[in-house]
Amino acid sequence: MIEIIIEEIKQQLGVELKLCDYFSGLKQFNGKNYFNVILEEKISESEVFNKLKRFSDKYKTIQIEPNGTKRVAVFIN
């Protein structure tokens, strides 16, 4: 499941996401599944985060939430 979503993002946005190795795997929060990815820049300065947010708002297949300074939670809808 994680690989499918990462591949879809890569194809649609041209962005290759790096899985978080500290909080790895599929997690659950409030009944929703998610996984963590690490960005190269801080979220507040990241163009990749902005692209992911626009993608999630448009297609509704994922939901993006900050989960640290450079860590992003990708919720699966």
Tens digit of each residue's pLDDT (9 = 90 or more) over 12-64 = 999 999 999 999 999 999 999 999 999 999 999 999 999 999 999 999 999 99
In this prediction, residue 20 carries a pLDDT of 96
DSSP 31: T
**Full-model pTM:** 0.93
For position 22, what pLDDT does the model report? 93
**pLDDT class of 69 with cuts at 50, 70, 90:** very high
Residues near 47 by Cβ (< 8 Å), separated by ≥ 6?
41
